Structure 1
Amino acid sequence: MSGCVERTEDGDVHGERVIAIARCWIGTPYRHQASLKGVGCDCLGLVRGVFAEITGKAAEAPPPYQPDWAERSGVDRLMEAARAHCGEPVPSGEMRPGDIVLFRWRAGVAAKHAGILSGPDHFIHAYEPAGVIESALVPSWRRRIAAVHRMPGSTQS
């Protein structure tokens, strides 16, 4: 296991591994539509990169998208992709470290931001202009949670 994380409170080994991998992305600069640890990523690129390391398989690359894609499309693509790759969402009251958290900026619009829960009150995300950081899950973030998805397990034994 990577030295990038301390153990979770509940001893969840899978969650610990997800967090360790995500924390190794901290400091990666923000780059729209990129997904390369240490070089650049956006929030989706971070989640895709961690997903690939955890599962051993890459999620398909999204088609090119503009920064305002969620406002313009009317389709909740982030939610659709999360369901396709991770299954149905879990209740937000049951979220645990290592879970993928999707955010929407306001009711009635598509989810537009993603991160990985790193503790009960913190998450890791790529945020312009800060890059990949670990942030407190303060009330202003918490009330924007649109869905929580469990990161799938490893395909390796």
Structure 2
Amino acid sequence: MFPEPAPIDRAALIAEARTWIGTPYRHQASAKGAGCDCLGLVRGLWRAFCGAEPEPLPAYGADWAETGGGEAFAAAGRRWLVEIDPGRAAPGDVLLLRWKDGAPAKHAGLLATASTLVHAYERVGVVESPLVPAWRRRIAHVFAFPGARPWQP
């Protein structure tokens, strides 16, 4: 179906994500230093390690997950990333989170360490923040980039 992906070093993936820190939050954007949202950060990492984005991105409003029905974010992840058990998440994996119980997942970030997440946060921008229990409870899906090598601490 798709060619075998090139190997991706997770440490390099995390280092690239950290170069986005300080990028301002901009809804629907994906430009390091200029602006991005949480999906834009993941899209930027995809471009850096996998090449051109695999599908066009439709316009989406702030309430896209609530009005669209289903788990659209997770479905897209399943098309292009490798889904893994949330209990096996490792640095370099993409986390999809729910804002509240029962809601679709609509926030994403990259697990940078066992206890930190790089993500674009509205009104804040791209930050590396502690993965506190309140965030951990919100993890709905975990994905690895295709070709991501196993984590080597």
1:144 aligns with 2:144: no
1:74 corresponds to 2:63:
no
Match of residue 83, structure 1, among 64, 78, 82: 78
Q: Runs of 4+ in structure 1 displaced over 4 angstroms?
A: none
Partner SS, residue 84 of structure 2: coil
Instruction: Please say which of residues 95-104 and 49-58 is displaced more in the overlay.
Output: 49-58
Q: Deviations over 1:95-126 (max 9, x none)?
A: 11100000012232211100000000001000
Q: How many residues align?
A: 141
SS in 2 for 1:112: strand
Gap runs ≥5 in structure 1: 1-12
**Sequence identity, in percent?**
51
Is the contact between residue 52 and residue 59 of structure 1 (CA under 8 Å) also seen in structure 2?
no
Distance 1:96 1:47 in 2: 16
Instruction: Give the superposition deviation at 1:57.
Output: 2.6
Residues 11-36 of structure 1: per-residue CA shift (max 9 Å, x gap): xx711011011001111000000001
Matched, 1:60 2:55: yes
Gaps of 5+ in 2: 1-7, 149-153
For residues 1-157 of structure 1, the aligned pairs below 5 Å read 14-87=9-82, 89-153=83-147
Q: If the length of structure 2 is used for normalisation, what is the TM-score?
A: 0.87
Once the 2 structures are TM-superposed, how far is the Cα of residue 93 of structure 1 from its aligned partner?
Answer: 1.8
Matching residue's letter, 1:82: G
**Partner of 1:152: helix, strand, or coil?**
coil
CA RMSD of aligned residues (A): 1.3
